[in-house]
Amino acid sequence: MTGTRRAKEAAMPAALAALVILLISGAFAHRSLLAWALLAVASIGAILRWALSLPAAMPRHRAAESGLLCGIGGLALAQITGGLAYPLVYLVAAGYVLLLPLALALALIGALVGLEAGAFFAAGALPSNWPLLLSHASFVALFAALYHALLGARLLAARRAERAAVRRRLDDAEERARELRLVTTAEVDESRSLLGAVAEVEEVLRGALAVAQAALHPHSVAVFLLSPDGESVRLRECLSQSDRLLRGPLSPREGVLGAVLATGKAVRVENAADSLAYYQGRAPVSSFCGVPLIGRGALVADRAEPFAEDEERVLAALAAEVTRAIEAERLLGAVRREKEEKARFFEALEELNRTTTLAQAAQTAVAQARRMCPALDLCALTLAEEKQGRLRHRVQAVDGDAAAALRELAFADNAGLVSNVVKLGAPLPGRALGAMDRVVIFDNGTVVRGLAALKIFPLRAGDSTVGTLVCGSRSAEALPEAAQRELAMLALQAAEALVRTRLYEEAEKLATTDGLTGLLNRRTFNGQLQARVREAERYRKPLSLLLLDIDHFKRVNDSHGHPAGDAVLRGVAHVAAREARETDLCARYGGEEMAVILPETDARGALAMAERIRAAVEKAQHATESGALRVTVSVGIATTPAPSAEGLLEAADKALYRAKQNGRNRVEAARNRAAA
């Protein structure tokens, strides 16, 4: 079965290949019976294949084969009609452009143009017919481009219209939710989660109206809802025999509807046609009965006959059911929002607890703040640090608007908001940005434009404030009370994470660095050297090691005292670290000896680096209580390959010994080939 299927699949490509050869050789122009018979058989096969399968389910490559077959047929007709059939060929091509994907359509056009060029070439007529060939190709290519451009534009317009329709539906749901008091006017971006709640309440409203219509037989029964600010009322749902009801906005203080809203009590009147202000013109009925939906609006009914007291109670019971449904959905929404708020908070706490460095903690806090409050257009975390008795601030992490200008910004303590938040330990500003004459967030030289809402939260850890969390948005409604509560809690947890990671970094530094010089200590140096030697062997890259020893250091201690010796050690360490590259590792090896690991550095490069450090040390002056002192260093160099890290270290030590023996203040390289 598999062999039969493969034979069937290969039959059409084989026939097309044969027809292409016959077309280019001019067999159709010479009316070859074999050529026309093969074309007829292939055409019948294509028609049968199309008839036996659904066109929509036909594979695209088969559609392309059919298009090529039609093109060959058209070119064959053109050969025997002297070119009269050429328009047919390219009309077929243009038709297949509509059916095929753009890539297959372009391939088909290219094949047809190639076949026509091949036929011209075989007949020796290509030089004289290339303008015709170019015009044919241009026509079909332009048609394909215009069609797909138009199709793409229509699809884009349809997607935009769909998004706009969804946005209108969401906006309408949010407006209804606010009218039903499912959310407060300060809450934003809740539309998607409120769709279900709004639909549920509207179903209850329609059910209540249906019951009222069946029980009271009114002319109209309707629900009117107050706007969130209480300044207008709108018709939300109704069942009416009239098309003259006004949807609003209406005044909440006019007519009998206004009496229900103002008193919060049921109103039942007769002969009230002139007071039914929710009709356009004079009302067609005169009796009215209305009951309040507590704090939200009113459920009203009207008809020609007066309403009885028991009918008023029916309407009041329905209003109570509607109020209960609204309150239940509001409470469910509040529970859901509280749950989501807690989930966001615990997620932020978990992410902060995973951080191990100060930079990670700061970046995580900024990312979590923007996740909690997506409306933020600027979020930055600043750290307050005391240096030489003066407080300074720096931006440790930032995201959003003006991020490039604020990244790594450092500034002195000033009268700006960030500085004041650190001093006061309380969020600022305490009022809207629009009410402030001039806003300095960081310092006078840094201006952030376009913000309509801003809140800066202190990062408090215990009794101290370690920095601030700056949150701003271009939208004035982006920082409601609920969002500010979440961000304030995040700021507390971020402060704890910053203190923890700072202590961790300090502990790690104490464990890996020398307390006097600030260079790597001996234990860390040994581990790093072994790792770098293995890395150099694995990747077959050079590695060099420098050993430095301060010349006549004992004289410094004996003549000027150990404090002066310590100052000299710190000074030489500073020079070595300054002259080394960022990728190099400087360590205190022991006593007055220091080491520098030079990754990816051969013997020549190591010699240059050693001379640079030696010369810099020779020029440097080291301030001590006895005055400025100068010292020199001797340097030993060893370069891989070496049998081990210990072997490399031994070779560098021997080179250092020779430098001492040969007069000091000089550089010597290892002589043995194993570490030269």
CA of 497: how far to CAs of 306, 375, 387, 460, 522, in Å? 71, 24, 22, 11, 31
The C-alpha angle with vertex 220 and arms to 215 and 222, in degrees rounded to 5, equals 90
| DSSP-derived 3-state class of residue 221 | strand
Which member of 592, 593, 650, 668 is catalytic? 592
Element at 218 (helix H, strand E): none
Adjacent-strand bridge partners of 233: 226, 250
Cis omega (within 30 of 0) on the bond before 427?
Answer: no
Burial of 122 (0-12, 13-18, 19+ CB in 10 A): middle
Task: Judge whether 594 and 587 are in contact, CB under 8 Å.
Answer: yes
Long-range contacts of 165-174, Cβ-Cβ distance < 8 Å, separation of 24 or more:
169/195, 170/195, 173/198
Q: Is 646 one of the catalytic residues?
A: no
Q: Which of 418, 417, 398 is nearest to 406 (CA)?
A: 398
Q: What is the separation of C-alpha 617 from the centre of its chain, rounded to a whole number of angstroms?
A: 50
Measured distance CA(422)–CA(416) in Å, rounded: 10
Measured distance CA(212)–CA(328) in Å, rounded: 22
Task: Judge whether 414 and 444 are in contact, CB under 8 Å.
Answer: yes
Give the contacts of 271 (CB within 8 A, at least 6 positions apart). Answer: 286, 287
Q: Which of 505, 432, 496, 431 is nearest to 458 (CA)?
A: 496
| Encoded tokens for 641 | 């390959």
Task: Judge whether 614 and 596 are in contact, CB under 8 Å.
Answer: no
Dihedral Cα 163, 167, 173, 178, nearest 10 deg: 170
DSSP 43-65: HHHHHHHHHHS-GGGS-HHHHHH
Task: Judge whether 565 and 553 are in contact, CB under 8 Å.
Answer: yes
The single-letter code of the amino acid at 216 is: L
Q: How far apart are the first and last CA of the chain?
A: 72
CA of 248: how far to CAs of 43, 171, 214, 230, in Å? 68, 18, 26, 13
The set of catalytic residues is 592
